Chains A and B, each alone.
Chain A
């Protein structure tokens, strides 16, 4: 495997001398073309040294990840790898990664939907690696490539390979970039004056005509001068407590080189991401701001022991420290998003913290005087792999044995502090509430560890006989995850693969694996998985080989059975009846309980893994040696999927089961790539468009038979929220009288009107239907443009997510659950009244939100199409502009190359359907931490 990649790299060798950036110009292996199916000699090596010419695989090089100034690599994959769709959930330093789906969401609620991730063939996490550590990321999509992963292959596999040294002189590369993050997608809240006026309207809607805030009070809210800032404050929480930007920086040093005997690649990386809290303590002894600091280190060694025996040794680690104020990020964000602008002044006239007898949530106090917490994570990986050539037995035979360890420790620590707040009355008299207490002695927040060991061996045979080529592998794989207190989690696979080629034109592939997991009943732990595949390099046929138009053409197809043993629930051994102590009963005259023993889980002897029959057909081609394209169509028919059986199991069963294997979902999809490479003198262009479309349909999900059609999940997409269909707002009393009765509490004109989907004349929970609302797009598209001219280069990435819905938090509109804060969305509320001055306010025809109320309306806060909205968007996700200094200058300063660059991540929305917050995940600032845009600049030096 390593040989292969080294060969590939040699192709770029001359390009590399002009600076590493050129590497990032290689979109999905197009220039190299050896890793792309459909290209000449396109044999791809996947796990365990298995080779294939017929599978559906996407590949990128690590260098492409370097252009994204994000700390979490999962944020860079969507848009770079065809077949992957991604959704980033928030911006918490140290945990701002994306949810990824490979070929879309293909499971039901009970089964895990995430792909298997392996780093250098061992279980691991790539998201916290430095981009400079990564050689390639391969995404294995079809059964031809995943069947050997058996029970864990059905959701696809992400194979990460780390960078290894190359023979030659020592190369030193230093990357440094620094920049800042900005918050995006925050609501715009009303000030106290605007809020007070609308609050009066809400009171009016509730039947109290006398304004709650009189004109004099409102005038003081408007005039924030003199004592008004204390007696009638108007606090801009976002502006006052969140900095406009926060620093982020990343440095890495990579030293590599070696001889024919030994090669090395050493990396040291530092990443630091700071939070936005304005009033956080920045004391050198401790900081209360949100932050994440990570150190990456890696040593990859290759040693050629003798002519036949080579050894690989990797040692790597990631040390991370994540900090936040004691109360946690979500409390601070929640306070900023919910506290009313007129609740209390932040500082009293004497500079004390403002508050009231019931409000101790002054954000200055939360940020600087609540104490702090920090979580230290330690990941360490070690791998030793040996490959022995067995030419003495027969030519082309090798045996490889590999063992790896991946350990994780976490230790969290916290120190608490408390602060007093002072209320200020109309005469500026202050009253103290609560106590100022210094930092307490610390306590443990978390303290845990686990580790995984893995071991695999493979015997590979790779040989050509005239027109025939044959690659065959038999392998075995074992991994065990150890968590204290629990029996280890074990996977064991045996596999065999065959890849046969004739005239380098016709290919046949096959794989077979026997794969087992400890989660199933003895005797039922292993399953057999297989795939068959074929490929035809049409371009090699005589009738095409001379064509100047069609310069490449390959057709490939595969079919196979793969499994998915991942569960959403952490409950293990569902085959086994399990008991727990509980349900005691008081006997005797003491009236205290005698302990009981109850069945906590009825055993399901048939419990097994989810199975997936996957078909793939693809075509790869090129035109004029400039244009390339790739197209894949797949189907994935799953059965034995995990779903709750309780709606199928007659009640006389008398117990509960969390899952049985009753689900069936059929998925299908298309992936298409179209690219152009152009080169005119010093000008180089690569543009690539790609689209990943996926869709699925539930065939069986365990729901009860005979539901009204709106409540049926069968026949619909397997994911998404359930909710009501909003018909707008009740226009007047007559509208209410003429509409079906709604069973969600009281309602009046201006409240949300729902559709009677089951036509029973009553609006209740039975009128719900599938609304979407999970953020997963059916269509994920990307455009990557790369241009270079002389020393200048520019890369632009645009992603588009289509056919998706998201949950829009009520905070963006007006029906806030705590009955409080209003955002500008409130101006789009339904209103119909005459104000004190005799002006008619009538927004009935244009209203986007229901009427204002000071208390929560359960009628208006039901899940519905009002708050689960279609949210397609196109984002300018990333730009990088670089300049490589002229080679001539380098000699003077004894450097190989210098490149200066700047880049931006999450730059702008080019299209936004919902227009509320950030469409990727609008709830981020409300529920966790706002999403960020990152702008950064830096330099890359090669010595």
Chain B
């Protein structure tokens, strides 16, 4: 038996050395060590995070072919099968989520933490790089810059989560796939806001003011400041500030003012384009603070050109409600449009309307491409001509480039989804300062007018001598936000944060029916459809599956 033991020992010892055979002989997968060695792979990790910005490849007609604003009183989606209708017909629920960004935003956050884990051990340099004039370039201290960009993106993802779901769980590391540790409680809204603000400050301190042509599109200092402004504005708004804590408005006004001051002190870094429509088709226009992915595209035109034009699908139909929101110039002064005023009605589509109307809406008789738009009943683009034609009597003009030939299919122009533009900084300031002060001061009139005058000319100017009350001013500012940012995914959230959804979204939307008899046109407003909104819809529901997986995190408060 002793011999057996000896043999056993010999065999065991010999073969124990074989265990190294189980080590990988070479790595046929891309592992973290390769990423650490190769700066371009490391930078690629950062690059890919940008794909998790809110809209990205799917911007514009994202929800079953519809724009998000078709779930507001501004728009109507023409295709009856689009999911967007479920947002306004009461079907929206945990069993029927729409535009559900929950998983995607946390996927973006995970990518941020993966990047943070590796960047400091990577070969991406942190050297000072100077240009010919001896000034540091955007690639100076590249490692710190990439980290700051990532901090900005992380803050952006949280701000989107906050906007959509209210209180949300805070993830602060790369999570292991351990089911028992991933179901965590939600962090209160205010705490998340504090974190976002801190991250924005942190990022803004490092991020470049501007990039060279080859690197444009990376997060800038202005973008971080703008994110802070919007976050604080939302936090101060009635939905999230039910006690109307003025201090929150002060912080919001301050953050917006900081963007304005930053721009003005940097030789007017951001400028409102004198052509309202131009920034949407001019890459990196000086009005744009943060774009979300420029690429050559024609999907905007395919989706929105009126159906009567070749290949046009006419998805987005602005409502009469929106058309009525554009002011009208009477005796040289812009006043709110009044549908009950026959003098106004006679000039519904005249040059006296706020020029932004024509820049936003295609209405009957307006020239578009090679002919005039015909939305009258029976017209080439006529109301309800088939099931996919306009449901309201209007088509979308904003963002749509008539010069793009859809028959070619290959004709494209670079466009991005505009995340932040300078007009928002001005209106954020006007809104917050008005709310903070109680009675608007000259600065409120000044910033509001800045936005108006760009489109309306001097006739749009408002000054302090009007002596508006806070309420009067609020009404004008909110209307200004509506028309200035129509179809830019502002109103969907603005009405919610103002807590005005039950009033504005639980109401019918209207269209215009124009009948043509000879050359006579007769217009009649008509109800397109009723809309359903209840206060729980101020936030988005989580899918029932997500809730079942994480009962502690649970359902969005308003949907419980």
Q: Which residues of A contact B (CB under 8 A)?
A: 390, 393-394, 397, 399, 457, 459, 461, 472, 474, 476, 478, 480, 485-488, 490, 492, 494, 516-518, 522, 525-526, 572-573, 576-591, 594-600, 602, 604-606, 645, 647-655, 657, 660, 662, 704-706
A652:B25 contact, CB within 8 angstroms: no
- With contacts A588-B213, A648-B549 taken as known, whether A655 is within 8 angstroms of B107 at the C-beta atoms is yes
Q: Which residue of B15, B214, B549 contacts A494 across the interface (Cβ within 8 Å)?
A: B15
Q: Which residue of B35, B213, B549 contacts A579 across the interface (Cβ within 8 Å)?
A: B35
What B residues does A476 contact at CB under 8 A? 11, 15, 18
Cβ distance B123 to chain A, nearest Cβ, rounded Å: 14
User: How far is B175's CA from A653's CA once the two chains are assembled, in angstroms?
Assistant: 6
A480:B21 contact, CB within 8 angstroms: yes
Nearest A residue to B175 via CB reads A653
Secondary structure dominating the interface of A: loop
| CB-CB contacts below 8 Å: B212-241 with A | 213-218
User: How far is B147's CA from A648's CA once the two chains are assembled, in angstroms?
Assistant: 32
A651:B549 contact, CB within 8 angstroms: yes
Q: Which residue of B51, B109, B176, B215 contacts A588 across the interface (Cβ within 8 Å)?
A: B215
User: How far is B40's CA from A597's CA once the two chains are assembled, in angstroms?
Assistant: 9
B550:A394 contact, CB within 8 angstroms: no
Question: Assuming A589-B284, A653-B110, what are 20 further A-B pairs, CB within 8 angstroms?
Answer: A390-B3, A397-B3, A474-B7, A487-B26, A488-B25, A525-B19, A583-B47, A584-B47, A585-B48, A585-B293, A587-B215, A587-B217, A588-B217, A589-B213, A596-B45, A649-B549, A650-B179, A651-B103, A654-B106, A704-B548
B293:A649 contact, CB within 8 angstroms: no
B48:A597 contact, CB within 8 angstroms: yes
What B residues does A590 contact at CB under 8 A? 214
Q: Which residue of A461, A578, A579, A652 contacts B182 across the interface (Cβ within 8 Å)?
A: A652
What 0/1 readout, one digit per residue, does chain B (445-487) give for beta carbons within 8 Å of chain A? 0000000000000000000000000000000000000000000
Q: What total of chain B residues lie within 8 Å of the partner, measured CB to CB?
A: 71
B546:A650 contact, CB within 8 angstroms: yes
Q: Which residue of A580, A591, A597, A662 contacts B294 across the interface (Cβ within 8 Å)?
A: A591
Q: Which residue of B23, B25, B44 contacts A581 across the interface (Cβ within 8 Å)?
A: B44
User: How far is B553's CA from A183's CA once the two chains are assembled, in angstroms?
Assistant: 60
B293:A474 contact, CB within 8 angstroms: no
What B residues does A657 contact at CB under 8 A? 177
B295: interface (CB < 8 Å): yes
Nearest B residue to A482 via CB reads B25
B24: interface (CB < 8 Å): yes
What B residues does A585 contact at CB under 8 A? 47-48, 50-51, 217, 293
B215:A399 contact, CB within 8 angstroms: no
B177:A649 contact, CB within 8 angstroms: yes
What A residues does B21 contact at CB under 8 A? 478, 480, 490, 492, 518
Instruction: Please indicate which of the listed interface residues A461, A591, A599, A704 has the most CB atoms of chain B within 10 Å of its own CB.
Output: A591
A518:B7 contact, CB within 8 angstroms: no
A652:B171 contact, CB within 8 angstroms: yes
User: How far is B214's CA from A584's CA once the two chains are assembled, in angstroms?
Assistant: 15
- With contacts A586-B217, A587-B217 taken as known, whether A598 is within 8 angstroms of B29 at the C-beta atoms is no
A599:B111 contact, CB within 8 angstroms: yes
User: How far is B41's CA from A584's CA once the two chains are assembled, in angstroms?
Assistant: 11
B177:A602 contact, CB within 8 angstroms: yes
B537: interface (CB < 8 Å): no
B8:A459 contact, CB within 8 angstroms: yes
B44:A487 contact, CB within 8 angstroms: no
Q: Which residues of B contact A (CB under 8 A)?
A: 1, 3-4, 7-8, 11-12, 15, 18-19, 21-32, 34-35, 40-42, 44-45, 47-48, 50-51, 102-103, 106-111, 114, 169, 171, 175-179, 182-184, 213-218, 283-284, 293-296, 414, 545-546, 548-550, 553
User: How far is B557's CA from A520's CA once the two chains are assembled, in angstroms?
Assistant: 42
The 5 closest A-B pairs by CB, nearest first: A596-B48, A654-B110, A597-B44, A650-B550, A583-B48
What A residues does B296 contact at CB under 8 A? 591
Q: Which residue of A393, A580, A591, A652 contacts B3 across the interface (Cβ within 8 Å)?
A: A393
User: How far is B30's CA from A384's CA once the two chains are assembled, in angstroms?
Assistant: 39
Q: Which residue of B25, B26, B176, B214 contacts A587 across the interface (Cβ within 8 Å)?
A: B214
B545:A647 contact, CB within 8 angstroms: yes
A650:B111 contact, CB within 8 angstroms: no
What A residues does B110 contact at CB under 8 A? 599, 653-655
Q: Which residue of B35, B48, B169, B176 contacts A582 across the interface (Cβ within 8 Å)?
A: B48
What A residues does B546 contact at CB under 8 A? 650-651
Cβ distance A396 to chain B, nearest Cβ, rounded Å: 10
Q: Please, could you name 17 A-B residue pairs with CB atoms under 8 Å apart, sorted by A?
A: A472-B4, A492-B15, A518-B22, A576-B29, A584-B47, A587-B214, A588-B216, A589-B216, A589-B283, A591-B295, A597-B48, A598-B111, A602-B177, A650-B183, A650-B546, A651-B549, A652-B169
Q: Which residue of A399, A490, A605 contacts B7 across the interface (Cβ within 8 Å)?
A: A399
Nearest A residue to B171 via CB reads A652
B3:A654 contact, CB within 8 angstroms: no
User: How far is B26's CA from A485's CA once the two chains are assembled, in angstroms?
Assistant: 9
User: How far is B553's CA from A494's CA once the two chains are assembled, in angstroms?
Assistant: 47
User: How far is B50's CA from A455's CA once the two chains are assembled, in angstroms?
Assistant: 51
- With contacts A478-B21, A652-B550, A660-B177 taken as known, whether A487 is within 8 angstroms of B28 at the C-beta atoms is yes
